Amino acid sequence: MTGRTHWAVGTASALGVLQPQGVREWAICAGAAAVGAVICDVDVSTSDSRAVLNRITVLTVLAVLALGFVEFRWKLGIMDTVSQRSGIPQLLIGAALLLVVCTFGKYQPHRSFMHSIPAWVGLSGIVYFMYPPLMPPFAIAMLSHITIDLLNRKKVRLLYPAKWGLCLGLCTAGGRVNRIMGYAATGLAIVFSAKALLPL
C-alpha cells in the first residue's frame, strides 16, 4: 500500500479504537498514529527509498510540529505532563533507542524486520518508555500497517528473523484496492476527528 493509504488507515484505526475526546486527547492520538502508520517503511529498498524515507521523516516532523502548535495554541498541558511523567533524559534515551532500531530496520529487506511482530513489540515498548499515552495509538497504527500489507503479493516476515513470510495476494500496492482503502480511511479519520473535536 502507498504511504498515504497507510497514514489514513493507521490514523482512522487509532481514532476509531481509542475514541479520543477533546483537543488534547485527539492531538496525542492523531500525532502518535501518524508516526506509527508509516514508520514500517523505513526499510523500502527500491530506487525511490530516499524519497520514501524523506516523506516519513517529514511526516514525523510535521506531526511533532502540529502537536507543538496545538499545545501552544490551546495550552493543553501536554508538555507539562510529558516532563512530569517522563522527563527529558527518558525522552532522549527513548529517541536514541528508536533511532537505533529504525537504523537497523532501514538496512533490512523490505517487509522483513520493520514489518514483524518483534519490531512492533519493540518499537511500541520504546514509545511507552518515552511517554506511555503515545503507545496505544502508535501501536494500533503500526499494526494496521503490517496488517494491510498482508493483502499484497509480497510476503511479510511476521516472525523475523525467521525466513517464513505470509501474504494473501489480494491486491497490488498501488492499485484500486489501495485507492479505495485510502479514501474510505480518510473519510473515517475525518468523522472520528469531528466526533472528538466538536461538541455534541
Half-sphere exposure for 17 (CA within 13 Å, toward CB):
16
Q: pLDDT tens digits for 119-150?
A: 999 999 999 999 999 999 999 999 999 999 99
Lowest mean pLDDT among 48-57, 82-91, 132-141, 180-189: 48-57
Q: Which pLDDT belongs to residue 191?
A: 96
Q: How many residues does the chain have?
A: 200
Q: Which pLDDT belongs to residue 48?
A: 47
Q: pLDDT tens digits for 61-80?
A: 677 677 777 777 777 666 66
pLDDT at 52 over 60: no
In which residue are the cell numbers 532500531 written?
101
Whole-model pTM: value is: 0.83
Q: Which pLDDT belongs to residue 86?
A: 66
Q: Which pLDDT belongs to residue 65?
A: 74
> For residues 44 and 116, which has the higher predicted lDDT (pLDDT)?
116
Where does 75-134 have alpha helices with state H?
78-85, 88-106, 117-130
Q: pLDDT tens digits for 97-111?
A: 998 998 899 889 989
Do residues 105 and 113 touch, judged by C-beta distance below 8 A?
A: yes
Q: Which pLDDT belongs to residue 126?
A: 96
pLDDT band of residue 90 (cuts 50, 70, 90) is confident
Q: pLDDT tens digits for 156-200?
A: 999 999 999 998 888 877 788 889 999 999 999 999 999 998 865
| Burial annotation 17-52 (CB, 10 A radius, 16+ → b, else e) | ebebeebbbbbbbbbbbbbbbbbbbbbbeeeeeeeb
Q: Which pLDDT belongs to residue 106?
A: 87
